[in-house]
């Protein structure tokens, strides 16, 4: 139908079908909505992405209405037939979405009525768009959370792969971005695995509270029809039924919780991004990321810019912004449904899109892409182990080890700390590493120092010595790797 036909239909409503939304509540209204108000209030051009959830919810509702004897078996069959046709129309792109019909719900219901007549009009028995939209968003988000769970798993596997290849590679560990102590690069990667593991757990937790059925709350107070809400929940694979009709139609906690979990996940991506950007800068040169994740400069021919991690860092702000938007949306809303809630969709949709794209791209950028010919992943980050080790040798990263050595010789830690400070000062003066100071010089700081000190002053000795649960000793890192591998299998 052309837009002029749609407008005609608005001014001369047909009695058989719902052509425009004016007819959803028509008789009371003496003038049509202005085009500006229509555009302002309609959501169809973004909420149409809920169509599958909308149809699934309607089919479950219709099935239950028939089982309860509220509609006939014939009407139920007609609704099923109509929805099957609508599904194929939407899938093929033939379905005509109409701004006039405000949202996905009215568009689909109008088409159903066009296709199957009165049976279509009976579908809305015992239901309101208020419980319908809440159901649709929950169903849709549940599916997206599952996809996000898969992507989080892939990203963790990529990080574990890189960790496994780099257990024995030594990186300067930083605090305050100053060289602190040597750490295994594998250990460093596994720190991010822990973060994304918690993100996956949070997503699973949000899913539990999302997967609860509002349908049957109707507009706000429940309904006079003998609905079997538990049956609908079961049909839709939902874990329970919202127990208060007012809360059912107005609650958007699940959207806020999801966006909070997504924000935190993006913050983790952003931290990783920041490290990748630093590590691939010329002054560090610790890693390279594949060219396809970088761009050149239009003026400086030598440049390869880390656009993907930079954008991810930037998009974190966008997702955190959506969290602020959603949480502010709910502030001050009285019970029950208010049209404000229509504003939940764009931030939620954009959060999902941004997070999914980001996780997908990071899994590939970090771990590489599967080459079907070799069955191996290729093109992940390239690690420059000598550069990392060289950098670890620069900032007296084993000073703590020397202090620990003296403690084992009987010095109180505070005294050992002071003694080592003198040694570091001497090494700075000689422009050499602690391990390069001759034994006699070291013994000048404390007579208990013996030849075996050089073992603990080496990067590898320092690493191996941190052999406690969760520490960076390669033996510990391998224990953690095995734990993650088993968990992610």
Binding residues for ligand ARG, per CB under 6 A? 43, 47, 103, 129-130, 133, 337, 339, 341-342
Of 40 and 469, which has the nearer Cβ to ligand ARG? 40
Shortest separation between residue 144's beta carbon and ligand ARG, angstroms: 17
Of 129 and 377, which has the nearer Cβ to ligand ARG? 129
Report the relative pairing of strands 178-184 and 170-175 from DSSP bridges: antiparallel
Question: Is residue 61 within 8 Å of 127, Cβ to Cβ?
Answer: yes
Of 125 and 384, which has the nearer Cβ to ligand ARG? 125
Task: Report how far residue 67's alpha carbon sits from residue 64's, in angstroms, rounded to the nearest whole number.
Answer: 5
Of 15 and 339, which has the nearer Cβ to ligand ARG? 339
> Per the omega criterion (within 30 degrees of 0), is the bond before 152 cis?
no
Task: Report how far residue 169's alpha carbon sits from residue 279's, in angstroms, rounded to the nearest whole number.
Answer: 14
Q: What is the 3-class SS of 89-115, one letter each residue?
A: HHHHCCCCCCHHHCCHHHHHHHHHHHH
Shortest separation between residue 132's beta carbon and ligand ARG, angstroms: 7
Alpha-helix residue ranges (DSSP H) falling in 280-306? none
Q: Under DSSP, is residue 384 helix (H, G, I), strand (E, B) or coil? A: coil
Residue among 10, 30, 34 nearest 22 (CA): 10
Shortest separation between residue 24's beta carbon and ligand ARG, angstroms: 9
Shortest separation between residue 338's beta carbon and ligand ARG, angstroms: 9
Residues comprising the chain, all counted: 489
Catalytic member of 14, 281, 297, 422: 297
Q: CA 248, 42, 60 angle in degrees (round to 5)?
A: 40
Of 47 and 63, which has the nearer Cβ to ligand ARG? 47
State the first-to-last Cα distance of the chain, in angstroms, to the nearest integer.
52
Of 22 and 392, which has the nearer Cβ to ligand ARG? 22
Could you write out the DSSP letters of every residue in 238-301? -SEE-S-HHHHHH--HHHHHHHHHHHHHHHHHHHHHHHHHHHTSTTT--EE--GGG-B--SS-T
Shortest separation between residue 384's beta carbon and ligand ARG, angstroms: 51
Whether 3 is catalytic is no
Q: Under DSSP, is residue 377 helix (H, G, I), strand (E, B) or coil? A: strand
Task: Report how far residue 408's alpha carbon sits from residue 412's, in angstroms, rounded to the nearest whole number.
Answer: 9
Shortest separation between residue 220's beta carbon and ligand ARG, angstroms: 9
Bridge partners of residue 305, in order along the sequence: 295
Token pair in block for residue 47: 């909420």
Shortest separation between residue 311's beta carbon and ligand ARG, angstroms: 30
348, exposed or middle or buried, with CB in 10 Å at 0-12, 13-18, 19+? Answer: buried
Of 36 and 299, which has the nearer Cβ to ligand ARG? 36
Whether 42 is catalytic is no
Token pair in block for residue 478: 């391998």
Catalytic member of 34, 92, 176, 298: 176
Catalytic positions, please? 176, 297
């Amino acid at each position: 139908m052309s837009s002029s036909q749609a407008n005609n239909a608005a001014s001369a409503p047909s009695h058989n079908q719902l052509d425009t939304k004016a007819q959803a509540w028509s008789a009371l209204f003496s003038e049509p909505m202005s085009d500006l108000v229509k555009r302002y209030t309609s959501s169809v051009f973004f909420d149409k992405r809920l169509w599958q959830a909308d149809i699934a919810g309607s089919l479950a509702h219709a099935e239950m209405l028939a089982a309860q004897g509220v509609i006939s078996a014939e009407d139920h069959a007609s609704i099923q037939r109509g929805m099957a046709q609508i599904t194929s129309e939407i899938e093929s792109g033939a379905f005509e979405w109409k701004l006039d019909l405000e949202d996905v719900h009215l568009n689909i219901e109008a088409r159903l009525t066009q296709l199957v007549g009165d049976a279509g009009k009976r579908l809305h028995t015992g239901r309101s768009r208020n419980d319908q939209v809440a159901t649709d968003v929950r169903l849709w988000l549940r599916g997206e959370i599952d996809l996000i769970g898969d992507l989080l798993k892939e990203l963790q596997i990529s990080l574990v792969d890189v960790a496994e290849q780099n257990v024995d590679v030594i990186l300067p560990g930083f605090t305050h971005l100053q060289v602190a102590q040597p750490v295994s690069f594998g250990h460093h990667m596994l720190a991010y695995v822990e973060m994304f593991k918690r993100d996956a757990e949070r997503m699973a937790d949000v899913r539990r509270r999302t997967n609860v059925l509002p349908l049957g709350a109707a507009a706000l107070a429940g309904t006079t029809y003998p609905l079997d809400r538990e049956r609908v929940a079961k049909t839709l694979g939902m874990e329970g039924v919202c127990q208060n009709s007012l809360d059912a139609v107005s609650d958007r906690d699940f959207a806020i919780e999801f966006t909070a979990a997504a924000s935190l996940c993006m913050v983790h991506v952003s931290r990783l991004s920041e490290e990748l950007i630093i590590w691939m800068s010329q002054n560090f040169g610790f890693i390279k990321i594949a060219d396809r994740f970088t761009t050149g400069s239009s003026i400086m021919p030598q440049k390869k810019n880390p656009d993907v991690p930079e954008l991810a860092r930037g998009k974190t702000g966008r997702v955190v912004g959506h969290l602020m938007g959603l949480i502010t949306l709910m502030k001050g809303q009285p019970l029950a449904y208010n049209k404000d809630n229509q504003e939940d969709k764009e931030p939620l949709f954009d959060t999902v899109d941004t997070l999914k794209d980001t996780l997908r791209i990071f899994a590939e950028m970090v771990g590489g892409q599967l080459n079907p010919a070799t069955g191996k992943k290729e093109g992940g980050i390239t690690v420059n182990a000598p550069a990392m080790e060289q950098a670890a040798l620069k900032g007296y990263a084993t000073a703590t080890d020397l202090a620990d050595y003296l403690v084992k010789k009987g010095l109180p830690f505070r005294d050992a700390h002071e003694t080592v400070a003198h040694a570091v000062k001497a090494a700075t003066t000689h422009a050499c590493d602690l391990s390069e100071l001759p034994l006699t010089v070291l013994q000048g700081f404390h007579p208990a120092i013996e030849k075996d000190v050089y073992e603990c002053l080496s990067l590898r000795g320092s690493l191996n010595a941190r052999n406690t649960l969760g520490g960076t000793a390669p033996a510990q890192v391998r224990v953690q790797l095995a734990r993650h591998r088993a968990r992610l299998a």
